[in-house]
Amino acid sequence: MATRSERAVVLGADIEGLAAAATLAAAGKEVHLFDGLTNPGGAGGTLEFHPGHHVPGLFNETALVRRKLIAGLGLEQLGLKWKGRESPLHVLRDNGEVLTILRHSLAGGQDTGSYARWRAWVDRMAPLVCEVLDDAPPEAADPGVMDLFSLARKGFKLRTLGEKDMMELLRIVTMPAWDWMEENFEDPALRAGLVSLTLPGTVVGPRAAGTTAMLLMQEAGRGVEPEGGLAAVVSALVARCDQLGVQMQLGVQPERIHADSSAQPGVQSVELSGGRRVDAGLVVSTLDPKRTLLELVQPGLIPLHVEAEVEGWRMRGSSAVYLLAFSSAIELPGGAERLITASTPEELERAADALKYRQLPASPWLDIRNWSRESEGPGTLSIHVHGVPHELDGGWTDAARGDLRDRLLAALETAVPGARESLVGERLLTPVDLEAEFGLRGGQLHGGEEVLDQLWVQRPALSLCRYETPLEGLFLGGAGCHPGGAFVGGAGVLAARRALGR
């Protein structure tokens, strides 16, 4: 029987929680993992939405897994495989032609030379960007020697880029992605395709300042995808946790984090639904920061200025997920695995404009993932739709849901004529549904909006950027922490390492 100091509790069984639990258990901790959800991986786990039809998680983007950080968990020995090639992105033009975007080439585009030059510049930035993504942020409020050393090392790397590249990086990082793309490319479909990938975690369009930073981070941090989507990462993490003896209990809701009454309060136990308590000297929560610090921690234990910072953490959902089942395998234009139906940046901007007025986008653009093409299973599409507000004007009535469904099916029929004829099942998840069914506050898929003032040392706040909280023994490690968002797997590992004093 482990003592309280040897026992760790992890709250949340999404990818971050599973990665944190495996990291702690591999270091010799007795780990207990709890989550009110019953599906390992949460929104990243396998979901059967119609008999015989399932998706490997709700996320279409799977190329940003922080492979370097989860490498030490030995997931490949437990069946996790990575694709042997990069995954192309296809963009549908108005005339029905398809632009294919690969990491270092275009098929069907007019910007071949300029794209090669742009990609070469992004590749030169990649080592610096990936070092930032895969390293814990420095302490912002009171940096120590190691924090200053880390900053100096990154500053040196920035300087070694050369003056021209360094100045270009500093110039573009706060720009709207619209302007950066317009500077580099003539083809509107290429501009739309690249920018579209940065919008799901935001409530803005490509004209918003700072969207270039997200575009650069995603393109520089992109790798090969796991075979089988994020659900394959979840399965391997669950197997690793089982192998390490993690005691996982799903369907058990954390109710309260208890602390002692000393001048510097520290974690004592976690209270679960039903009144059961688990003593622990260490708690890593991958639940959202607001739930952890404002709802689970006893009132009065978190300083008011930290509470204020957490209250200001923005988690507005802006995307719906539409899952479709077909009687036979479906074929997207150009044989695409992933297809963007926005052919111009203007379409992206118009859809985002609807968020400002809490309206549905009049002409939604679709991010379509054809999972049946990858698994050779029954026809299954996962569609992400940006520009769908959580706080819809008039509320999410049956009529509003029906209206959104009709608009999405009309957009799909335009892109894939005849698709509706073989449709046998569907499930529409609005931001309200994502919140209710998967515990995603505000329906925010990425744990917090991905904008400049919510990245790196400000994710989720300057006082919390190193995963530690004012409550000794309590650490944050969810998608609301660095690198977080679409960069899955990193925050859980980094938080666990911090909790272990590494």
Whether the model pTM is above 0.85? yes
Q: Is residue 273 included in any domain, yes or no?
A: yes
Give the closest residue to 356 by CA, choosing from 177, 193, 174, 207: 207
Q: Are 4 and 27 in contact (CB under 8 A)?
A: no
Residue corresponding to tokens 């990425």? 446
Q: Among candidates 192, 206, 197, 220, which has minimal Cα distance to 111?
A: 192
Residue 337 covered by a domain: no
What is the rounded distance in angstroms from the CA atom of residue 111 to the CA atom of residue 116?
Answer: 8
DSSP-derived secondary structure letter, 232: H
Looking at the fold, whether 25 and 72 belong to one and the same domain comes out as yes
* CA-based end-to-end distance of the chain: 25
Amino acid occupying residue 476? L
Count CB atoms within 10 A of the CB of residue 137: 22
Q: Is 453 left (phi over 0), alpha (psi -120 to 50) or beta?
A: alpha
Q: Are residues 216 and 142 in the same domain?
A: yes
The dihedral region occupied by 148, where left means phi > 0, alpha psi between -120 and 50, and beta the remainder, is: alpha
| 258, β-bridge pairs | 269
Burial classification of residue 61, based on how many CB atoms lie within 10 Å of its CB (0-12 exposed, 13-18 middle, 19 or more buried): buried
At 127, is the secondary structure helix, strand, or coil?
Answer: helix
Per the domain annotation, does 395 fall within a domain? Answer: no
User: Do 120 and 202 fall within a single domain?
Assistant: yes
Per-run averaged pLDDT (10 residues), the chain, 502 residues = 89 98 98 96 96 96 97 97 95 95 88 96 96 91 61 63 89 97 97 96 96 97 96 98 98 95 86 95 97 95 96 97 95 96 98 96 97 81 98 98 98 96 97 97 97 95 95 98 96 98 88
Q: Among residues 221, 246, 265, which one ends one of the domains?
A: 221
Distance CA 239, CA 245 (A): 10
Q: Which of 221, 246, 266 is the last residue of a domain?
A: 221
| Residue 265 resides in a domain | yes
Q: What is the pLDDT of residue 373?
A: 74
- For the chain, the C-alpha Rg in angstroms (whole number) is 22
Rounded to whole angstroms, the Cα distance separating 15 from 69 reads: 13
Q: What is the b/e burial string over 255-291, where b = at least 16 CB atoms within 10 angstroms of the residue's CB?
A: bebbbeeeeebebbbbebeeeeebebbbbbbbbbbbb
Q: Show the tokens assigned to 105.
A: 């080439």
What is the domain range of residue 153? Answer: 112-221
Q: Is the peptide bond before 483 cis (omega within 30 degrees of 0)?
A: yes
Count of helix runs (H) and strand runs (E) in the chain? 16, 18
The residue type at 330:
I
Q: Are residues 208 and 304 in the same domain?
A: no
The pLDDT score that the predictor gives to residue 218 is 96
Claim to verify: residue 210 and residue 236 sit in the same structural domain: no
> Cα separation of 415 and 369, whole Å?
13
Assess if residue 252 is contained within a domain: yes
Task: Examine residue 177 and state whether it is found in any structural domain, yes or no.
Answer: yes
Domain boundary among 221, 245, 271: 221
Is the residue at 304 inside a domain?
A: yes
> Does 241 lie in the same domain as 287?
yes
Contact 217, 129 (CB under 8 A): yes
Partners of 106 in the β-ladder: 101
Two tokens, residue 383? 């569609």
Please report, for the domain that includes residue 256, its CATH number: 3.50.50.60
- The tokens describing 263, both together, are 């001048």
Partner residues linked to 278 by β-bridges: 270
Task: Look at the chain and report how many structural domains it folds into.
Answer: 2
124 and 76 belong to one structural domain: no
Kindly state whether residues 457 and 308 are assigned to the same domain. Answer: yes
Question: Measured between alpha carbons, how far is 291 from 256 in angstroms, rounded to an integer?
Answer: 10
Strands 53-56 and 46-50, by their bridges, are antiparallel
Contact (CB, 8 A) for 471 and 481: no
Shared domain for 140 and 195, answered yes or no, is: yes
**Structural domain includes residue 40:** yes
Q: Please give the Cα distance from 114 to 447 (Å, whole number).
A: 35
In this structure, the answer to whether residues 118 and 213 fall within a common structural domain is: yes
User: Which pLDDT score is estimated for 158?
Assistant: 67
CB 448 within 8 Å of CB 314? yes
207 and 288 fall within a common domain: no
Could you identify the residue written with the tokens 């501009």?
191
* Non-local CB neighbours of 139 within 8 Å, separated by 6+ positions: 147, 465, 466
User: For the segment 489-498, what is each residue's pLDDT rounded down to a tens digit?
Assistant: 999 999 999 9
Who's near 157: CB < 8 A, 6+ residues apart?
127, 128, 131
Does one domain contain both 133 and 155? yes
DSSP code for 468 = B
Distance CA 47, CA 55 (A): 5
Asked whether the bond before 303 is cis by omega within 30 degrees of 0, the reply is no
